[in-house]
């Protein structure tokens, strides 16, 4: 490994796909991507965000130089372990290889198969210029994405209680970093929260939960009606999580709908719900039956 240097070739197709992802996320402004040029020796942040957030990856590296096509040759300082970076780049080891030359890089490179280990001694990595951000901006952006993931996870686990104010703040934070897809997800989270607590944060009795649970499931019906493609994804007997994870909306809304339906069905077995009235209880049962997945 002593004489090996690793390059990542960014084919035009992969670059196009990544740009689509960036536009979908609405994340990287022209100030941070298109107008920013990094100097040799500068420490930068290479971002690889994904729809489900938990699999976000990044590289922190020092710029060795910028290539003619604008991509950056980085010396890797830190990276997220457990990810395959080959989905964005093709690692190369120094050796004569016409394939690398054909892709526009200097002579003398061949493919290096392991795209998950970036801690090899003297490792370099070519990162598409669209991925490279200033270190401070990149770190903050990924921290904010992770914070939103934590908020959602805390709600999903029911501990601690998520207040309406905190959910609304999460929506503002989503907007601020370009994750607008999470805003309607947190809307459903609000409906769920109202099933269990009133406006003064008082826990509701079982019979008091029936009406807000009905309203919550009616909102799920609205989502399915307005988003037929999402409805198909959610109802599929075998969910394609790889495809679902490409979209933050699809991934988080599926998890949110799963939870609200599970909790609504669980409410049907709570003691005392009959005090809500027969009509309301039957309405809730009917909605649960209509929306329940068959798989």
Span 26-67, pLDDT tens digits: 444 434 444 478 999 999 999 999 999 999 999 898 998 898
How sure is the predictor about 16, in pLDDT bands with cuts at 50, 70 and 90? very low
C-beta separation of 125 from 74 below 8 A: yes
d(CA 31, CA 129) in angstroms, rounded, equals 13
2 has pLDDT over 70: no
pLDDT, residue 207, reads 98
Return the minimum-mean-pLDDT range out of 71-75, 96-100, 237-241, 283-287.
96-100
DSSP 162: P
Give the mean pLDDT of 186-209.
95
Phi-psi region of 22 (alpha: psi -120 to 50; beta: other; left: phi over 0): alpha
Give the mean pLDDT of 182-202.
95
Say what the pTM is.
Answer: 0.79
pLDDT, residue 21, reads 41
Task: Measure Cα distances from 238 to 31, 242, 272, 293, 294 in Å.
Answer: 42, 12, 36, 11, 11
Average pLDDT of the chain to the nearest whole number: 82
Return the minimum-mean-pLDDT range out of 41-55, 93-107, 207-221, 234-248.
93-107
4 has pLDDT over 70: no
Nearest CA-CA partner of 250 in 49, 53, 51: 51
User: Dihedral through CA 266, CA 201, CA 154, CA 139, nearest 10?
Assistant: 150
C-beta separation of 49 from 25 below 8 A: yes
d(CA 129, CA 123) in angstroms, rounded, equals 18
Which is higher by pLDDT, 104 or 167? 167
Give the mean pLDDT of 94-115.
55
């Amino acid at each position: 490994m002593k004489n090996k240097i690793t390059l990542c070739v960014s084919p035009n197709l992969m670059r196009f796909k990544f740009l689509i992802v960036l536009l979908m996320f609405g994340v990287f402004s022209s100030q941070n991507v298109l107008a920013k040029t990094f100097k040799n020796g500068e420490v930068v942040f290479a971002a690889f965000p994904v729809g489900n957030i938990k699999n976000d990856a990044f590289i922190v590296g020092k710029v060795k130089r910028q290539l003619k096509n604008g991509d950056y040759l980085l010396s890797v300082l830190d990276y997220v372990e457990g990810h395959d970076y080959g989905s964005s780049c093709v690692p190369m080891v120094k050796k004569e290889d016409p394939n690398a030359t054909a892709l526009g890089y200097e002579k003398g490179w061949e493919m290096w198969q392991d795209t998950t280990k970036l801690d090899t001694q003297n490792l370099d990595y070519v990162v598409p210029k669209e991925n490279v951000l200033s270190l401070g901006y990149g770190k903050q952006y990924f921290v904010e994405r992770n914070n939103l993931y934590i908020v959602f996870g805390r709600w999903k686990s029911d501990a601690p209680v998520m207040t309406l104010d905190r959910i609304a703040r999460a929506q503002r934070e989503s907007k601020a970093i370009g994750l607008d897809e999470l805003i309607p997800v947190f809307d459903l989270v609000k409906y769920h929260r109202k099933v269990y607590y009133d406006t003064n944060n008082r826990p509701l009795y079982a019979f008091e939960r029936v009406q807000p649970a009905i309203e919550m499931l009616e909102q799920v019906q609205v989502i399915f009606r307005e988003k037929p493609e999402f409805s198909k994804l959610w109802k599929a007997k075998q969910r394609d999580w790889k495809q679902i994870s490409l979209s933050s909306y699809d991934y988080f809304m599926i998890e949110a709908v799963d939870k609200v339906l599970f909790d609504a069905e669980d409410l049907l077995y709570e003691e005392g719900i009959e005090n809500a009235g027969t009509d309301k209880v039957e309405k809730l049962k009917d909605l649960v039956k209509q929306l329940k997945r068959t798989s």
